[in-house]
Amino acid sequence: MSVASGRKKFFGRDIAVHGPVMYLDFELDADEQHRRVMQLATGMNMKVPEDLLYVSTLGVRTHEAIEFALSACEEHQVVLVVLDSLGPAMVGDMAAAKDVIEFHNCYIAPFKAAGITPLLVDHQARQQAGEGYQSKGAFGSAYKEHLSRSLIQVEAGDRSAEQGTLNVRLRHKKTNFGALCDPFDVSLEFSDEKILASVRDLTPSDRAQEATLNAEDRVAAALEDGPAYPDDLVEATGLARGTVKNKITALKKAGRVEVTGEIRSQMERVRLVAPRHRPIKESAASATPREPTSTVAGLFANPPSWLPGQLEKYRENPGLHFETLCVAVRAAVLDGGTREDEARADEVREEVKRELVARGVPLPEE
């Protein structure tokens, strides 16, 4: 709907291509999907896009449905076709590599050849006892994933039938071109009139468990909840003990982690480094000049080693990473942990915005 309506953002991420979109439905009928689309459009504060095309294939053979859809896509200059879902559409055995490859060659490749991006909705096998959701893949042959350029796993989280809410996590597990996007949560609110969707930031505990993030960042995320021993970090991250120890050593060398002096079973307790800095603004009674790097302007003028990487992350997605940038800057220029510092969070945000504007860096959309 965002692509078809010309919207510039999808959950804070830039949409590079706009145009007609076809929804090729192998599961539901037009009445049910129309109801859902109307609810989504109301939640998005928009009309249903005229360029959102819908085809129900119930009772139609796959080769006939694909042939019709391809012809309609070319006629209407469709840029994106959504196939929902691969299971009912599949011709052949999903567990057989040769059948999956043949299906892609016969039914998916023609869309690509016509310059149309296919988005395939698929299902995972049921989760068995002791299995982690993140390690699950698409049901059937591994070639279903091998033949995909990009793979996004959607995991259902907290659900409240009484409040009509559901939280889901979008996890970018594979890309053939470019870098993986960081995972993020979407909060869904359902009612008879509309469906509202909003982005939620991952908590440090959530990031520590995310297998799509590198091990060093996961260990650092776990330490955001407070000092910990290596065994605690193994439990918090799910990483191997040797990996955790290696990453603690790397974080120490980078100046991001320090020991607390506490020892348990010959293991040192560690914590994230929180540099001592003076407040952003001097009080009238203070006669001691502050160091340049203890201000937001000073921090940007003389950036520590972590700031360029944080800014690069912000540029990838200002809407998603602005708050993370502000929190990191606030921790660097304030003593942190006091109510006064929390109350001055808005002051930090405004100073960060001024520094971004001064450097020609775009601000997030309000």
pLDDT at 303: 80
Distance CA(242)–CA(98), nearest Å, equals 40
Expressed in angstroms, the distance from the first to the final Cα of the chain is 21
CATH 2.100.10.30 fits 206-272, yes or no: no
pLDDT at 299: 81
CATH 3.40.50.300 residue spans of the chain: 2-149
Degrees to nearest 5, angle at CA 122 with 117 and 127: 150
Give per-residue pLDDT as tens, 335-365. Answer: 544 444 455 777 888 888 888 888 888 888 7
pLDDT at 343: 57
Residue 135: asked if its preceding bond is cis (omega within 30°), the reply is no
71: which 2 tokens?
């012809």
Q: What is the CATH code for 2-149?
A: 3.40.50.300
What value does the mean pLDDT take over residues 296-310? 80
Average pLDDT value for the chain: 87
Q: Is 254 left (phi over 0), alpha (psi -120 to 50) or beta?
A: alpha
What value does the mean pLDDT take over residues 193-202? 90
pLDDT at 284: 38
Q: Is 81 left (phi over 0), alpha (psi -120 to 50) or beta?
A: beta
Distance CA(292)–CA(194), nearest Å, equals 50
pLDDT at 275: 53
Spatial neighbors of 293 by CB under 8 A, at least 6 apart, are 277, 299, 301, 302, 304, 333
Give per-residue pLDDT as tens, 211-250. Answer: 999 999 999 999 999 999 999 999 999 999 999 999 999 9
Q: Residues of the chain with pLDDT > 70: what percent? A: 91
pLDDT band for 313, please (50, 70, 90 cuts). confident
pLDDT at 342: 52
pLDDT value at 277 more than 50: no
Indicate the pTM of the whole model. 0.70
Give per-residue pLDDT as tens, 279-294. Answer: 444 433 343 444 444 5
What value does the mean pLDDT take over residues 24-41? 93
pLDDT value at 52 more than 80: yes
CATH 1.10.10.10 residue spans of the chain: 206-272
pLDDT band for 276, please (50, 70, 90 cuts). very low
